[in-house]
Amino acid sequence: MFLVTGTDTGVGKTFVTSSLVSFLREKNINAVAYKIVETGCDPDCEDAKKLSEASGQDLLPIYAFKNPLAPAVAADIEGVKISVDKIVGKAREISEKYDIVFFEGAGGILVPITWSFTFLDLAKTLNMEVIIVALNKLGVLNHTLLTVKACQVEGVKVRGIVLNMIGEFDESVKTNLHSLKKLLPDISVVPFRNPADSYNCLKAFSLVT
């Protein structure tokens, strides 16, 4: 099981995750991608829909909220009580059916699912490894290092970092990839421009040979 998290919201988690699972399934690998909780569903849950299509499965979120906010916040506003046990149970159920499962989070690793349970807690509870999606722009070094550090403090393994090269054009885009590799020599950092990069990414993370 892998948790695909971001250094922020809007960094391309769904784009990367759907590309990876599509590639695996084309190679007849029993893989799936799933968004357990999605916010900003007005009316459709677009991320979950894209992941379902890429996975060839109809997997709807357990919790879907209209407000585009952190799940804990959206749940309060919309009068919903989120059950961590239900989320954990569903994740375990899905993981038993597939060889590779990507669970896509909402926003970053410390986004609260409930007021006492974050996506990092979910990864720790289920012994997931984390794949970090970072957007190639100014600020990505700090955001990525903070995400990695948060995982390390909790004993959660970071499997790799995907640097999404489709981003804002500033001076840092020329140096961010090299800088991240230099700062994090023990973690694979892979550039990602389009679905054709899926193989290199999966190979770097030792998910294909």
Percent of the chain at pLDDT exceeding 90 = 94
Fill in the amino acid letter for 136: N
If DSSP codes are grouped into helix, strand and coil, which group holds residue 202? Answer: helix
Amino acid 129: pLDDT: 98
Fill in the amino acid letter for 146: L
Q: Distances in Å between the alpha carbon of 153 and those of 84, 115, 158, 162?
A: 22, 20, 11, 21
Distance, in Å, from the CA atom of 17 to the CA atom of 72, rounded to the nearest integer, reads 23
Q: What angle do CA 115, 116, 122 make, to 5 degrees?
A: 115
pLDDT digits over 15-62, tens only? 999 999 999 999 999 999 999 999 999 889 999 999 999 999 988 999
142 annotated to bind ligand: no
Q: Which residues are known to be catalytic?
A: 35
The predicted model scores a pTM of: 0.96
Amino acid 42: pLDDT: 86
Residue 123 DSSP symbol: H
- Would you give the end-to-end CA distance of the chain in angstroms? 18
pLDDT digits over 52-105, tens only? 999 999 889 999 999 999 999 999 999 999 999 999 999 999 999 999 999 999
Amino acid 166: pLDDT: 86
For the segment 8-17, the average pLDDT, to the nearest whole number, is: 95
When pLDDT is cut at 50, 70 and 90, the band that residue 108 belongs to is: very high
pLDDT digits over 113-165, tens only? 999 999 999 999 999 999 999 999 999 999 999 999 999 999 999 999 999 99
For the segment 197-204, the average pLDDT, to the nearest whole number, is: 97
108 annotated to bind ligand: no
Three-class SS of 159-181? EEEEEECCCCCCHHHHCHHHHHH
Amino acid 169: pLDDT: 77
Say which CATH topology domain 2-204 has: Rossmann fold (3.40.50)
Amino acid 106: pLDDT: 95
1 annotated to bind ligand: no
15 annotated to bind ligand: yes
